[in-house]
Each structure stands twice: as structure tokens, then as C-alpha cells.
Amino acid sequence: MSVFVDKDTRLLVQGITGRDGSFHAKQMIEYGTNVVAGVTPGKGGQTFEGSVPVFNTVEEAVKATGANTSVIYVPPPFAADAMMEAAASGVKLVVCITEGVPVIDMLRVRPYVIAQGARLVGPNCPGLITPGQAKVGIIPGRICTPGHVGVVSRSGTLTYEVVYHLTRAGLGQSTCVGIGGDPINGTGFIDALEAFENDPETKVVAMMGEIGGTDEQDAAAFIKERMTKPVVGFIAGQTAPPGRRMGHAGAIISGSSGTAAEKIEAFEKAGMGVARRPIDFVDLVRERLA
Amino acid sequence: MNIHEYQAKDVLRRYGVPIPPGEVATTPEQAEAIARRIGKPVMVKAQVHVGGRGKAGGVKYCPTPEAAREKAEAILGMDIKGLTVEKVLVTDAAEIGTEAYVGIIIDRATKKPVFMVSAAGGIDIEEVAATTPEKIKYHPVDAVYGLQPFEAQQLGFFLYQDAKQARAAAKIMQQLYKAFAENGCSLAEINPLVTTPEGEVIALDAKMSIDDNELERRADLEALRDESSEAPSEVEARKANLTFIKLDGNVGCVVNGAGLAMATMDLVKYYGGEPANFLDIGGSSNPEKVVNALRIITADENVKAILFNIFGGITRTDDVANGIVTATKQNPLKVPIVIRLTGTNEEIAVKILEEHGFVALTDMDEAVKKAVELATQSQGAEGGK
């Protein structure tokens, strides 16, 4: 078991002939992910790497191949449409790697994807990996190893850093979920935590947050009230200076609650382990697995 | 990207929001001329991208055009929270009955644009939010449908008992929302929204922030950028596609990814050092980016050691290594450098670096400790001179 992606994932790559899309499609195939189709409008009928059929539309691709998950590598101006197209075509999990999607676009994409009954991860995220089964996105496969630690994070390379330490210490992962840091995204901390709580393979969760917003505090409240599995947390940005804030709206809506100190306090109150450094995850996770 | 009050007002005027006449001036003489044109007492207001202008003395009432010139002379060139005032807005000094607050922000929690309105507006609105939150009405908007007239009316009547004023405010809410949505804003704010002695409702101050991701497709919004209001090093970094924020410490940091960059700064502090900056070279890095990053960092005289922390995913560590070699050939370093890299093409990167006499580390903690140590040593050596 695992969450969101596994050996039954039938992956479609939107933007498969582009620079990033083709590079990462190859990496995902090499990792053993079942990549069943690619989509690039105007390039339908071609074959990618001699084995993956390319279609003009997601609808055609899903009909022909039974794809159930899509990963998106299209440029920002087209990303909103690509997410909606995937959801409209019956794909159940839509993962958008693209960075720089305007937030105004996401205000309509998010409700649309939810209304189609699909799950969205991202945008501006590294994607997901269930070690040994499927890699959907850009998380480097060789730093991961199968195991019982669920990983969820707002950041990309910081996730790699933590996973790298875990793997070196022999602490494998059930699934790593990079939710991305954009203000309007699909899957949040709580969605991922709930999935880990329900996943028999996951025994402990490692969570990496950042300063800004109240997502981590909300997650801490969820952990306290609803989770039986232990969670270890980290907040990046403890030394970040307070930004020069324009206007009052940000302060009114979040009070003082964007700071690392406040988030760490919320973690502690929820009974979570708090990693001060990325490497601290190793001991904190190991204690909770024992 | 933040835009100035006068720019936000120009945008809102196009959407029909009632705003007193005003123009921007860069010299005291211009300010006087504008005041003369307005023909009434004016306010002279510093145009800087920071809150608290009024409390810093950057907003003054001027009963005559001569006073406008004098006050403009005092305000232009003034330093407000580290920013130099280059422009002032000279605007009709409306008489104020009541002051209300109206703001819209993208809310991470509800994943919607949220209206916040309060009859207790003005410069102390944050205090109101903290001590008497019931005086603020929060209203999330379903962005698919936009702000409906009945919603705007609810907000209007929350502010004003007088039906005429409530309806006028409702109209302003809809205009503000439209301006927010059509210009890719992450924030739009009118504070204060005032009633005049004649009973009119008008916007006396406005702020807008545009989502950076919107600027790519909106040259008209990008044109509102005022580079003079940003730190020169930050402007240079943006042009090189780097995210850079200058800080006060002495360990210069070059990292890929914002989360790891912040975690690196935290670790510098953890081991007793102070980061000199936040610098994210981003995902698909090429050697050129690294060259630019090093130029920006070494321009800061406070930097006593440079720390690279690269975890290669999309970023190829050999690109970074090549960038370091190229940059240091062009401009030999005057301070020690500590390089940590791991991930994509690590073996090639280590080989490149070693061939050029650099040491490559793979452990983040070890690298940070070393960089802090070196920075402290060279700081100490200088102090002893």
C-alpha cells in the first residue's frame, strides 16, 4: 500500500514532447513507472521513445490507454487549461509540476477539478513517488527507498534533503508527496495526512512546512484531533526576516501567525516531534518507528 | 509586485471608483503646480512600497500651493524604512466624515479571494483586527461567479446605515473586485474609504499587489514596475532569474530551491553564523545563473565566506560546478568558498571542481559548519588589523 500513486498508476504525460516533459518522461519510465500515453496537441500519432503513443487530446489518450493519472509539464500560460482538460477527461489524479501558474487561473481550476471528482496535486510542486512502484513528477528516484515513512512537503529540494537523510539511515518511505507552495493549490497538508493515516503501510509521517500562511497550524490541529500515527515536523524560514508588507490585509487575515516560531509552537502543542535541522528527522522518525 | 498608491488609484479610476483628483510629482515645483491646478488644500503623500508612511512623516496636509512645495521638498528624498522617496502624490485633501476599510486578498486557508471590510478603518486597522475582530466582516468570494450584487450590498450595509451610502459602497466593492480579478492581484485595498460631509463615499488611499506570475502575460502591468523602489541587487537578481534578498550577516548563501535555501540559512544560524542573504538559483540552472549569483553575492562587502548548497534534481550539479569555475576565473574570489553538492551528475561535478582546486563536500551540516567557521575567522582577522 501507499498513497495516491502505486503500481496500478497508468500515467499520462501532458507536454511529453517538450524539453522538461520529455526529459522527465524518460526518467519516470526508467524508474519503472507505467507511462501509457503522452499528449501534445498537433503531435498525435507520434511515438515517444519508441513505445509511448502520443495523442492530440487527453480525451483520446484516456480512451485509448485507460490512463488514470496525468502529470503536467506544459508552460504556465497553458497549465490551467491542461489541468482542467485532464480532469474533464476522467483522469482521477492530476499532478501539475509547472511553476508560475497565475493564481487567478487557479481560482477557477481548483473548484473545477474537484467538481470533476479528481484530485489535484500542485501546481509548482515536485510531484509524488512511491518508491519501487511509481514516480510521478521530478523527485529523484535514487534517493528514495521503500519503507514506512510518509513524507509530505511544501518544498522541493528540501524534501530531497530530508528523504536523502532518511534513506541513508535505512528509513524507507511509503510515499513522498510534494504539495507545492502556491497559495491556491490542489492537495494540502491535511489531505495528505489523512491519506497517510488511512494507509496501512505508513507508520510515521515526516512533514516539511515553511513560513507564511496558516497551513501548518491547521495541519497541527488536524494531527492533534484526528491522527493516531506520529508526525515529525520541520519549518523552513526560522531566520527569514519579516517582509516589507504592503497594505494591511495580510496582517488582518493571518494576525501574526505566519512565523516559524508560531508554527513550531503549534507543532509542539499537537505533540509532534520537531526537527530543528533536516538531519534531525532521522532520530525523531526512528524513535517513533520503534 | 507592489505598485504605488498613485498607480493603484489610476487602475481603480478606470473601474469607476470615486477618487479625489491628484497627480504625481518628482520635484517640489511640480507639486506646487499640481496643487495650484487642484485649487484647494492638498495632501502631499510619499510614494514608497511600505506601510506606515503617515506615521513616518511621509504624508502632509498643505493648505496652500506654497505649502505643497515646502512639504514636497521635505518628503522627496526622505528615507522611510530604508526606501528613499522619489515621488509624491499631490491630491485633493478631502474632508473626512468617517473612515472605513475595504480589502481583498487571496486567502490560502479558504483558497478564495476574501473581502475584509470594517467601519473602523484608517491607519489602526490592524489593531482593530487584533483587539476587536468582530468589527471586521470576512467574506470569501466564489471566484467562478465573481462578487454578486447581493453580496456587495451585504458588505455595503455592514459599513453604512444610510442606504445611499451603503449602495455607493456596494458599487465600489464590485468595482474593486473587478479590478482585483482582471489585473491578477494578490491584494487590493482601499483604506480609508471615507464619507465626505456631503455624504459621498470616496476612496482616499489605495494599494495593490500584482501576482508575479501574472506579469509574464501582462506587459501593461509589468510596465507599472518602479525599479527605483527596489534594492539594486534585488533588481539585478531578478533580471538574472534569481530570487535574492539581502540580509545583514556574513555567510553568502547560494542554494537551489526556496525551502532548502531557507533551511540552509536556518542551519547557518544554528551553527552560530549569520546568513548574508537568501539566494535561490531555482530549478533548471545553467552555468550562467551561477556566474550571476556569485557576482551579486561577492558585491556585498559584508560577505566573509560563500556557501553553495545544491541538491540536484532538475538542477544538474555539473552545471553548477562549471558556473563556479567560470565565475572564479573571471573574478578570482577574495573570500573562502565552501561547496556542498549532491544529486544529479554529482560525480562529474566533483571531478570538475577537484580539477580546478576546489573541495566538494556532500554533507549539508558539515558544509554549513565549515562556512560559518571560515566567515568567523576572516571577520576576526580583519578586526585585528
Nearest CA to CA, how far is B267 from chain A (Å)?
7
Are B50 and A110 inside 8 Å of each other by CB? no
Residues A112 and A135 in one domain: no
The pTM (predicted TM-score) of the whole model is: 0.92
Q: Is there a domain that residue A176 lies in?
A: yes
Please check whether residues B240 and B340 belong to one and the same domain: yes
The reply to whether B243 and B293 lie within a common domain is yes
Quick one: B109 and B147 in the same domain? yes
Please indicate, yes or no, if residue A1 is contained in any of the structural domains: no
Of B70, B92, B114, which marks where a domain is finished? B92
Q: Which domain holds residue A16?
A: 11-121
Q: Are residues A112 and A198 in the same domain?
A: no
* B8: in domain: no
Nearest neighbour of A252 by CB, restricted to B106, B125, B256: B125
Shared-domain flag, residues B55 and B151:
no
Which of chain A's residues have a Cβ under 8 Å away from the Cβ of B342?
164
Q: Which whole-number Å values give the CA distances from B125 to A87, A245, A250, B173, in the listed order?
A: 42, 14, 12, 18
Mean pLDDT within B242-265: 92
Q: Considering only the beta carbons, identify the residue of A138, A240, A250 that sits closest to B313.
A: A138
Q: Quote the Cα angle for A76-A142-A3, to 5°.
A: 65
Question: In this structure, are B339 and B252 located in the same domain?
Answer: yes
* pLDDT value of position B385: 42
* ipTM field: 0.91
Q: Which has the minimum average pLDDT: A92-106, A198-212, A231-245, B74-88?
A: A231-245
Q: Where is the domain boundary, B187, B222, B257?
A: B222
My answer on whether B237 and B372 are in the same domain is yes
Residues B219-243: what's their mean pLDDT? 86
Per-chain mean pLDDT for chain A: 94
Question: Do B267 and B304 sit in the same domain of this protein?
Answer: yes
Q: Does B212 share its domain with B137?
A: yes
Whether the CB of B219 is below 8 Å from some CB of chain A: the reply is no
pLDDT of the residue at B384: 46
Chain A residues in contact with B343 by the CB 8 A cut-off are 140, 143, 160
Residues A204 and A254 in one domain: yes
The reply to whether A87 and A45 lie within a common domain is yes
Confirm if B294 and B324 have CB atoms less than 8 A apart.
yes
User: What's the CATH code of the domain at B77?
Assistant: 3.30.1490.20
State whether A82 and A136 are in the same domain: no
Instruction: Verify that B206 and B259 share a domain, yes or no.
Output: no
Residue where one domain finishes, among candidates B197, B222, B247? B222
Domain end (from A69, A87, A121)? A121
Categorize the per-residue pLDDT at B34 as very low, low, confident or very high, splitting at 50, 70 and 90: very high
Confidence (pLDDT) at B94: 87
Residue-wise pLDDT for A6-38, tens only, equals: 999 999 999 999 988 999 999 999 999 999 999
Number of domains in chain A: 2
SS3 content of chain A, % helix, strand, coil (to 5): 40, 20, 40
Residue-level pLDDT at A242:
66
Instruction: State yes or no: pLDDT of A246 exceeds 80.
Output: no
Mutate which: B53, B147, B266, B271, vs A, most A CBs within 10 A: B266
Which residues have CB under 8 Å from A2's CB, separation 6+? Answer: A130, A133, A174, A175, A199, A201, A202
Choose the mutation target among B102, B178, B193, B213 for the interface with A, i.e. most A CBs under 10 Å.
Answer: B213
The CATH number covering residue A85 comes to 3.40.50.720
Count of domains observed in chain B? 3
Residue A97 has pLDDT above 70, yes or no: yes
A92 and A186 belong to one structural domain: no
Say yes or no to pLDDT of B159 above 60: yes
For residues A134 and A115, membership in a common domain is answered with no
Give the mean model confidence (pLDDT) for residues B312-338: 91
Kindly report, residue by residue over A72-90, the tens digit of the pLDDT. 999 999 999 999 999 999 9
Note the pLDDT of residue A17. Answer: 94
Average of pLDDT values for A260-267?
Answer: 93
Residue A4 within any structural domain of the chain:
no
Least confident piece of the model among A198-202, B124-128, B217-221: B124-128
Q: Which of A207-221, A269-283, B47-61, B77-91 has the highest mean pLDDT?
A: A269-283
Domain-embedded: residue A94: yes
Specify whether the CB–CB gap between B335 and B281 falls below 8 A. Answer: no
| CA atoms of B166 and B211, how far apart (whole Å) | 30
Q: Whole-angstrom Cα distance, residue A118 to residue A3?
A: 15
Q: Are residues B72 and B144 in the same domain?
A: no
The grid coordinates listed for B338 are 565552501
- Residue B265's domain comprises 231-384
How does the average pLDDT of chain B come out, rounded?
93
Contact A157 B256 (CB under 8 A): yes
Indicate whether A76 belongs to any domain. yes
Strand A69-72, strand A52-55: pairing: unpaired
* pLDDT value, residue A245: 57
Q: Is B211 exposed, middle or buried (0-12, 13-18, 19+ CB in 10 A)?
A: buried
- Given A52, A86, A121, the domain boundary residue is A121
| CATH number, domain containing residue A284 | 3.40.50.261
* Distance in Å, alpha carbon of B164 to nearest chain A alpha carbon: 26
Tell if the CB–CB gap between B342 and A103 is shorter than 8 Å: no
Q: For residue B4, is it within any domain?
A: no
Q: What distance in Å separates residue A126's CA from the closest CA in chain B? A: 9
Which of B6, B101, B160, B177 is catalytic? The answer is B101
- Indicate whether A95 pLDDT > 50: yes
Which of the four pLDDT bands, split at 50, 70 and 90, describes residue A256? low
B260 and B366 assigned to the same domain? yes
How far apart are the CA of A131 and the nearest CA of chain B, in angstroms?
16
> Which of A104, A163, A217 is the best substitution to test chain B (most B C-beta atoms within 10 A)?
A104
Which one of B101, B111, B266 has the shortest CB-CB distance to A184?
A: B111
Is A249's CB within 8 Å of B136's CB?
no
Q: What is the pLDDT of residue B49?
A: 85
Whether residue A276 is found in the same domain as residue A135 = yes
Mean per-residue pLDDT, B34-46:
96
> Based on the domain organization, do A150 and A56 belong to the same domain?
no
Answer yes or no: do A16 and A65 share one domain: yes
Point out the catalytic residue in the list B5, B99, B189, B346: B189
Same domain, A140 and A271: yes
Please state, in angstroms and rounded to a whole number, the distance separating the CA atoms of residues B178 and B153: 15
In terms of domains, do A115 and A152 share one? no
